[in-house]
């Protein structure tokens, strides 16, 4: 029988960033969390789905959920693992503070034990810290890999507009787009065109992203600031 005093939000998250590459899909998370809710006989008030990294604060869906918890719409959260809730110290601190104030009475994870005792909150803080360390360490490893590639004369990422990557080497000008990029610089340097006019002119001439989509004003702004 469902205990209506235990009102939970289900929160699922998966981003396209590297740190979430091995994480279960949102549908897999949802299936497991719904099964846990039935097993624990708790009421699920709402389900939150977010497709964004948690390495920095400011996730809109996560923040909405916390606001609704502060408004007493629910007093618990079901999530697949603590790293779904936070990979940064600000959001992790918010969760622990809501536990301290009693706004969150329970956190349930199928992959992690947690309760509201001092020991439970301590273990949760360690889990949040481990999640942050993982992101920080991953970022440093990627930067180090990029630096090493640059030392070896290899372009470390996707080539900018107007260039193409050469496997195991650097970048070379794109046969069709490089001349258009050069003309973009020349046109804007005259002072006779605004960024929007540059965009309209060179989009019409065929300057575009690798995906084939048209460039926005912000893309031209970035392009014209690129020293390459």
Q: Clarify whether residues 125 and 181 are in a common domain.
A: no
CA of 105: how far to CAs of 148, 163, 224, in Å?
A: 48, 55, 53
Q: What is the pLDDT of residues 103-146, one digit of tens each?
A: 999 999 998 988 889 999 999 999 988 887 777 676 666 666 65
Specify if 182 maps to a domain: yes
pLDDT confidence of residue 110: 92
Q: Which helix (H) or strand (E) holds 43?
A: strand 42-50
Q: How confident is the model at residue 156 (pLDDT cuts 50, 70, 90)?
A: low
Identify whether residues 127 and 15 lie together within a single domain.
yes
Q: Are residues 107 and 211 located together in one domain of the fold?
A: no
Same domain, yes or no, for 10 and 48? yes
Same domain, 97 and 176: no
Would 157 be classed as within a structural domain? no
For the chain, the average pLDDT equals 86
In this structure, what are the phi and psi dihedrals at residue 11, rounded to the nearest 5 degrees?
A: -125, 125
User: What is the CATH classification number for the domain harbouring 24?
Assistant: 3.40.50.1390
- For residue 71, which phi and psi values (nearest 5 degrees)? -85, 10
Record the tokens describing residue 96, joined without a space: 């622990």
pLDDT digits (tens, 9 = 90+) for 2-21: 777 899 999 999 876 654 55
Answer yes or no: do 11 and 124 share one domain.
Answer: yes
How many whole angstroms separate alpha carbon 200 and alpha carbon 220? 11
Q: Give 176's contacts (C-beta < 8 A, 6+ positions apart).
A: 206
Which residue shows structure tokens 């080497």? Answer: 169
Location of structure tokens 């014209």: 224
Q: Does 211 share its domain with 105?
A: no
Same domain, 55 and 92: yes
Q: Is 142 a domain residue?
A: no
Q: Specify the length of the chain in residues.
A: 228
Q: Among 117, 136, 155, give the residue marking a domain's end.
A: 136
> Same domain for 183 and 76?
no
What is d(CA 188, CA 209) in angstroms, rounded to the nearest whole number? 19
Q: How far apart, in whole angstroms, are the C-alpha atoms of residue 121 and residue 119? A: 6
Q: Are residues 21 and 105 in the same domain?
A: yes
Residue 106: partners with Cβ closer than 8 Å, 6 or more residues away: 6, 8, 75, 76, 77, 115, 116
78 in any annotated domain: yes
The three-class DSSP label of residue 73 is coil
Residue 123 within any structural domain of the chain: yes
CB-based contacts of 194: which residues, under 8 Å, 6+ apart?
Answer: none
In a domain, 129, yes or no: yes
Average pLDDT (45-62) is 92
Mean per-residue pLDDT, 174-196:
89
Is residue 69 assigned to a domain?
yes
Q: Give residue 45's pLDDT.
A: 96
52 domain residue, yes or no: yes
What is the model's pTM? Answer: 0.61
Task: Count the domains in the chain.
Answer: 2
Say whether both 125 and 173 belong to one domain.
no
Domain identity same for 127 and 17: yes
Domain boundaries, position 191: 163-225
């Amino acid at each position: 029988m469902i205990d209506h005093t235990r009102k939970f939000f289900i929160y699922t998250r998966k981003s396209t960033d590297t740190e979430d590459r091995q994480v279960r899909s949102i549908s897999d998370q949802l299936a497991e969390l719904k099964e846990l809710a039935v097993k624990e006989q708790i009421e699920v008030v709402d389900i939150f789905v977010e497709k964004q990294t948690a390495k920095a604060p400011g996730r809109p869906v996560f923040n909405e959920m916390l606001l609704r918890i502060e408004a007493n719409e629910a007093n618990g959260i079901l999530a697949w693992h603590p790293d779904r809730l936070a990979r940064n110290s600000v959001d992790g601190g918010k969760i622990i503070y809501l536990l301290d104030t009693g706004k969150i009475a329970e956190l349930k994870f199928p992959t992690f034990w947690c309760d509201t005792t001092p020991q439970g909150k301590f273990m949760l803080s360690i889990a949040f810290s481990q999640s942050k360390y993982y992101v920080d360490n991953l970022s440093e490893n990627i930067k180090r890999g990029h630096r090493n590639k640059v030392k070896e004369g290899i372009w470390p990422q996707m080539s900018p507009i107007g260039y193409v990557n050469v496997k195991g080497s650097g970048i070379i000008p794109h046969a069709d787009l490089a001349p258009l990029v050069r003309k973009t610089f020349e046109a804007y340097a005259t002072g006779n065109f605004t960024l929007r006019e540059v965009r309209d002119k060179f989009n019409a001439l065929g300057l575009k992203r690798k995906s084939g989509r048209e460039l926005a004003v912000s893309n031209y702004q970035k392009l014209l600031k690129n020293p390459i």
